[in-house]
Chains A and B, each alone.
Chain A
Amino acid sequence: MIHNGISLSQVMPGKQVKIISLAGGRGLHARLISMGLIPGSIIEVVNQGMTGPCVVAQNGCRLAIGRGVAHKIIVSDVL
């Protein structure tokens, strides 16, 4: 169980999580939001390596998210 939220970069592949907040500057915020990654939305981690970008699934769409960006997306378990 994840209680206080962890960064997206730490989630194991195959797991569904809910975005709870976005860290980082306003520019990054705006970009993530416009791609549908808003707090409250549910995503599934499809691919996560030790380094490099991860891939998440959202509404039948695949997004590659750079590691630096993934660090700034805070997620929790889907309740």
Chain B
Amino acid sequence: METTVALAGNPNSGKTCLFNELTGARQHVGNYPGVTVEKKEGKYSRNGHTIHIVDLPGTYSLTAYSVEEVVARDFLVNERPAVVIDVVDASNLERNLYLTVQFLEMGVPLAVALNMGDVAKKRGIEIDREKLSILFGVPVIPTIARSGKGKEEIMDAAVRIAREEKPRTPLIVSYGDDIDGALLEMEESIITNGFLTETYPARWIALKYLEMDEQILSKGQKQNPDVSAKLEDLTRRVSDHLQKTLNTYPEAIIADHRFGYINALVRQGVIKFRDHHDRLYASDKIDKVVTNRFLGPIIMVGVLMGLYHFTFTYSAVPVGWLESFFGWLGDAVSTHIPAGLLQSLVVSGIIDGAGGVLGFVPLIMLMFLGIALLEDSGYLARVAFMLDRVFRVFGLHGSSVMAYIVSGGIAGGCAVPGVMATRTLKSRRERLATLLTAPFMNCGAKLPVFALLIAAFFAENEAVMMLMITLISWLGALLVAKLLRSTVIKGESMPFVMELPPYRLPTFKGLAIHTWERTWQYIKKAGTVILGISIVLWAMMTFPGLPDSQLLEFENQRAAAKAAVSMEISREVESYEGKAVLSREASNLRNQLLGIDSREAEAALRNSTAGRIGTALERVSKWAGFDWRTNIALVGGLAAKEVVVSTLGTAYSLGTVDPEESRALSEILSKTPGWSPLAALSLIIFTIFYAPCFVTVVMIVRESGSWKWGMFSIAFNTLAAFILAAAVYQVGLVIGL
């Protein structure tokens, strides 16, 4: 059987760094079932043995108050890794050992990786690791995870422990008379009743009862209500007593004694030397500037703009390559497959669909590279710190700003990486509210729609309108976040206590792995689903085809147009390949034929399933001023917002419209009865807020861990968008805009 080794430790202890060093590119990122916590696994080979390594989420403790802690704890008891490697930050020994002691109390086989000894030394701390090893009874191996130093040694130690397979006796820490007495009594009834003992050590169960640990309590109540009631009774007695005498909770006493135990150990010579200057000169100096009350926000705006600029400027070139590649592929396939349904399926359905997915890849890679850079350097923690006061008002977290910006908070982003960027948020409710509202930002694909409408109806105030649209998105996103946080995702905000890690230069390996693993995840998961959906949408816009009678009519029109001119001219048009200059008559005929093609495409679109849906929706959508053409375009926008403009083009018989060159379409719109600046405004509002594109929905499903939230974002956003758009339109009509 394969040996499983789990990596555990505090956040910022260098755990992930060590994991990357051990596994390199041989890792796999998934989610723990049902929760949004990332599960990283990898393989490590040495001397012909392959070891399965799991990187547990970084935690400070093993309570049931945070998802990460529950996940880490459940993994230890359910999967029973052969060894747990506890990565301990030597420069912050006491706090890191708090988790170590809890592992020892759980009785898990442990090896300690004493990490960042170099940093500790610089801060004037020297640790006697042999002493620590003797006192804890576990191997303590010095490592420097950033450079991979000590990785072989720690794995050798882990393998040795795994081979020993000797039963572990849990560490016993004394918690003072009150608690120790209660623990003894509780342990006795736990052992005699075999209460949960198949998974946890008896004393640990008793401790968790005293801490009123929800998860263990509910497990206990399920297994044996009588014993559980007895233990709860005892807990109440101890709690009441402690409340009366010391005005405190049992867990406070427990923590106090744990730290006391650690301090006693450390004082036995584990820390050989400590310089009492508690100073992080470089980091504090940077913070003085970077989190300064006036300079801080300016620098932050600069950095965020920089990230944004970096991502979208440098991805434009490879995105262009991919676009031309898929364009070429489409053309190549078109010449090999005869025109017809199969060609249409392959070119419009599959190739355009796959192109839509893969087109995002360079963007996602660069965005994650940028975020990894900010995260690994320690700056992201400062951003969260500075913005927390603002975002907290709306039930969000300081880190939410990242997701908003990337999604298009500065118009032109993309919600797909934006939703993925919410991973830097650790608290579930804030994260959910962020990822549900980030798609309200104006992604690059919504911009052509705005550009079209602004050009047609607000040409004099272009810049003002764009600014207004951006402000409307932010206001809408923040208010909806507040609404969600007071209704469907109600609940206390996570108290803001966060470590500000010292600034560090990110390692190349860390950045590369971070970036690649997320990009690959996107390609794999989104690719399959989105391809399927784009085929469905293609079918909706293609079937049912026009009835034969109508097809015949268009064919007759063509024949009539050709018959009106001489044979030579019609031959000239047929052999036209776009290079030669046509004679006046020929170009006349060509335009007539193209006009017929466009009218046929319009009729076909209206007759298709999507067209029928659009026509049926007219009854409702007229309240917001949308006709069937707009409806189809918006339905198409569910696949990708890029197709809104091109579908409108088809619906207005323009043939294929290049979204970048939509001047003709905007002229038509401005002259079409039924369109007005008010209708355009209503459509702008709707476009900002309605259902995210399918790629985003798929990412919401992935990141939130359930289809429920994906469906919610489609239904809720569309409804909210419609109400807003209809309100604007109706009020506008009344006041006579």
A69 touches which of B91, B278, B497, B502 (Cβ 8 Å): B497
Q: Is B499 a contact of A61 with CB atoms below 8 Å?
A: yes
Q: Could you tell me the distance between the alpha carbons of A39 and B98 in the complex, rounded to whole angstroms?
A: 15
Q: Could you tell me the distance between the alpha carbons of A34 and B73 in the complex, rounded to whole angstroms?
A: 15
The interface size of chain B toward A, counting residues with CB under 8 Å, comes to 45
Q: Is B499 a contact of A35 with CB atoms below 8 Å?
A: yes
The closest CB in chain A to the CB of B277 belongs to A60
Among A57, A63, A64, the most chain B Cβ lie within 10 Å of the Cβ of: A64
Q: Could you tell me the distance between the alpha carbons of A62 and B120 in the complex, rounded to whole angstroms?
A: 15
Q: Could you tell me the distance between the alpha carbons of A38 and B260 in the complex, rounded to whole angstroms?
A: 11
Q: Is B212 a contact of A26 with CB atoms below 8 Å?
A: yes
Q: Could you tell me the distance between the alpha carbons of A27 and B385 in the complex, rounded to whole angstroms?
A: 21
Produce 1/0 per residue, A41-79, CB < 8 A to B: 100101101011101011111111111110000000000
Q: Could you tell me the distance between the alpha carbons of A33 and B256 in the complex, rounded to whole angstroms?
A: 8
Within 8 A of A (CB), among B273-287: 278-280, 283-284, 287
Produce 1/0 per residue, B94-111, CB < 8 A to A: 110010000000000000
B497 touches which of A26, A41, A64 (Cβ 8 Å): A64
Give the contact stretch, choosing among B192-200, B247-255, B699-707: B247-255
A12 within 8 A of B: no
* 12 intermolecular pairs with C-beta atoms under 8 Å apart: A26-B251, A30-B251, A33-B255, A36-B95, A36-B259, A38-B259, A53-B496, A60-B92, A63-B497, A64-B500, A66-B388, A66-B392
**Extra inter-chain contacts (12) besides given A41-B259, A53-B388, CB under 8 Å:** A26-B251, A32-B497, A34-B59, A35-B497, A38-B252, A39-B252, A46-B284, A53-B385, A53-B389, A55-B500, A57-B278, A58-B278
Known contacts A63-B498, A63-B499: A47-B60 contact under CB 8 Å:
no
Residues of chain B with a CB closer than 8 A to A34's CB: 59-61, 63, 98, 255
Q: Is B94 a contact of A59 with CB atoms below 8 Å?
A: yes
Within 8 A of A (CB), among B420-446: none
Residues of chain B with a CB closer than 8 A to A61's CB: 91-92, 95, 499
A52 touches which of B123, B278, B388 (Cβ 8 Å): B388
Q: Could you tell me the distance between the alpha carbons of A51 and B496 in the complex, rounded to whole angstroms?
A: 14
Residues of chain B with a CB closer than 8 A to A63's CB: 497-500
Q: Is A39 a contact of B256 with CB atoms below 8 Å?
A: yes
The closest CB in chain B to the CB of A22 belongs to B252
The closest CB in chain A to the CB of B62 belongs to A34
Produce 1/0 per residue, B481-522, CB < 8 A to A: 000000000000001111111100000000000000000000
The closest CB in chain B to the CB of A47 belongs to B291
Q: Is A30 a contact of B92 with CB atoms below 8 Å?
A: no
B183 within 8 A of A: no
B381 within 8 A of A: yes
Q: Is B94 a contact of A36 with CB atoms below 8 Å?
A: yes
Among B123, B212, B388, the most chain A Cβ lie within 10 Å of the Cβ of: B388
Residues of chain A with a CB closer than 8 A to B293's CB: 49
Residues of chain A with a CB closer than 8 A to B502's CB: 62
Q: Is A59 a contact of B95 with CB atoms below 8 Å?
A: yes
B386 within 8 A of A: yes
Within 8 A of A (CB), among B219-278: 249, 251-252, 255-256, 259, 278
> B residues within 8 Å of A by Cβ?
59-61, 63, 65-66, 91-95, 98, 123, 125, 211-212, 249, 251-252, 255-256, 259, 278-280, 283-284, 287, 291, 293, 381, 384-386, 388-389, 392, 495-502
Number of A-B contacts (CB under 8 A): 122
Q: Could you tell me the distance between the alpha carbons of A32 and B385 in the complex, rounded to whole angstroms?
A: 17
Within the complex, the shortest CB–CB distance from A51 to chain B, in Å, comes to 6
> A residues within 8 Å of B by Cβ?
22, 24, 26-41, 44, 46-47, 49, 51-53, 55, 57-69
Q: Is B495 a contact of A69 with CB atoms below 8 Å?
A: yes
Q: Is B252 a contact of A52 with CB atoms below 8 Å?
A: no
Known contacts A33-B251, A34-B61, A40-B256: A64-B381 contact under CB 8 Å:
yes
Within the complex, the shortest CB–CB distance from A43 to chain B, in Å, comes to 9
Q: Could you tell me the distance between the alpha carbons of A67 and B390 in the complex, rounded to whole angstroms?
A: 12
Residues of chain B with a CB closer than 8 A to A40's CB: 256
Q: Is A68 a contact of B496 with CB atoms below 8 Å?
A: yes
B278 touches which of A36, A44, A55, A65 (Cβ 8 Å): A44
Q: Could you tell me the distance between the alpha carbons of A17 and B279 in the complex, rounded to whole angstroms?
A: 16
Residues of chain A with a CB closer than 8 A to B280's CB: 57, 60, 62
Residues of chain B with a CB closer than 8 A to A24's CB: 495
Among B61, B280, B385, the most chain A Cβ lie within 10 Å of the Cβ of: B385
The closest CB in chain A to the CB of B494 belongs to A31
The closest CB in chain B to the CB of A40 belongs to B256
Closest 8 CB pairs of A and B: A66-B496, A34-B61, A34-B60, A52-B389, A36-B95, A62-B500, A33-B255, A64-B385
Within the complex, the shortest CB–CB distance from A47 to chain B, in Å, comes to 7
Residues of chain A with a CB closer than 8 A to B279's CB: 60
Within the complex, the shortest CB–CB distance from B286 to chain A, in Å, comes to 11
Q: Is A66 a contact of B497 with CB atoms below 8 Å?
A: yes
Q: Could you tell me the distance between the alpha carbons of A34 and B94 in the complex, rounded to whole angstroms?
A: 11
Q: Is A60 a contact of B256 with CB atoms below 8 Å?
A: no
Q: Could you tell me the distance between the alpha carbons of A26 and B250 in the complex, rounded to whole angstroms?
A: 10
Among A38, A39, A61, the most chain B Cβ lie within 10 Å of the Cβ of: A61
A35 touches which of B60, B284, B385 (Cβ 8 Å): B60
B498 touches which of A47, A51, A58, A64 (Cβ 8 Å): A64
Within the complex, the shortest CB–CB distance from A35 to chain B, in Å, comes to 5
Within the complex, the shortest CB–CB distance from B211 to chain A, in Å, comes to 8
Residues of chain B with a CB closer than 8 A to A64's CB: 381, 384-385, 388, 496-500
Q: Could you tell me the distance between the alpha carbons of A57 and B284 in the complex, rounded to whole angstroms?
A: 10
B496 touches which of A44, A46, A49, A65 (Cβ 8 Å): A65
Residues of chain B with a CB closer than 8 A to A30's CB: 61, 63, 65, 211, 251
B65 touches which of A22, A31, A57, A58 (Cβ 8 Å): A31
Within the complex, the shortest CB–CB distance from B222 to chain A, in Å, comes to 22
Residues of chain A with a CB closer than 8 A to B59's CB: 34
Among A26, A39, A41, the most chain B Cβ lie within 10 Å of the Cβ of: A26
Among A30, A36, A38, A57, the most chain B Cβ lie within 10 Å of the Cβ of: A30
Residues of chain B with a CB closer than 8 A to A66's CB: 388, 392, 495-497
Residues of chain A with a CB closer than 8 A to B495's CB: 24, 27-28, 31, 66, 68-69
Within the complex, the shortest CB–CB distance from B527 to chain A, in Å, comes to 39
Q: Is B95 a contact of A26 with CB atoms below 8 Å?
A: no
Q: Could you tell me the distance between the alpha carbons of A31 and B36 in the complex, rounded to whole angstroms?
A: 20
Q: Could you tell me the distance between the alpha carbons of A46 and B279 in the complex, rounded to whole angstroms?
A: 10
Residues of chain B with a CB closer than 8 A to A67's CB: 389
Q: Is A65 a contact of B94 with CB atoms below 8 Å?
A: no
Residues of chain B with a CB closer than 8 A to A65's CB: 496-497
Residues of chain B with a CB closer than 8 A to A46's CB: 284, 287
Q: Could you tell me the distance between the alpha carbons of A30 and B252 in the complex, rounded to whole angstroms?
A: 8
Q: Is B251 a contact of A60 with CB atoms below 8 Å?
A: no
A60 touches which of B91, B386, B389 (Cβ 8 Å): B91
B287 touches which of A33, A47, A58 (Cβ 8 Å): A47
Residues of chain B with a CB closer than 8 A to A51's CB: 389
Q: Could you tell me the distance between the alpha carbons of A44 and B381 in the complex, rounded to whole angstroms?
A: 19
Q: Could you tell me the distance between the alpha carbons of A74 and B91 in the complex, rounded to whole angstroms?
A: 26
Within the complex, the shortest CB–CB distance from B117 to chain A, in Å, comes to 14
Q: Is A69 a contact of B496 with CB atoms below 8 Å?
A: yes
Q: Is A38 a contact of B255 with CB atoms below 8 Å?
A: yes
Within the complex, the shortest CB–CB distance from B192 to chain A, in Å, comes to 29
Q: Is A60 a contact of B287 with CB atoms below 8 Å?
A: no
Q: Could you tell me the distance between the alpha carbons of A61 and B501 in the complex, rounded to whole angstroms?
A: 7
Among B60, B252, B259, B497, the most chain A Cβ lie within 10 Å of the Cβ of: B497
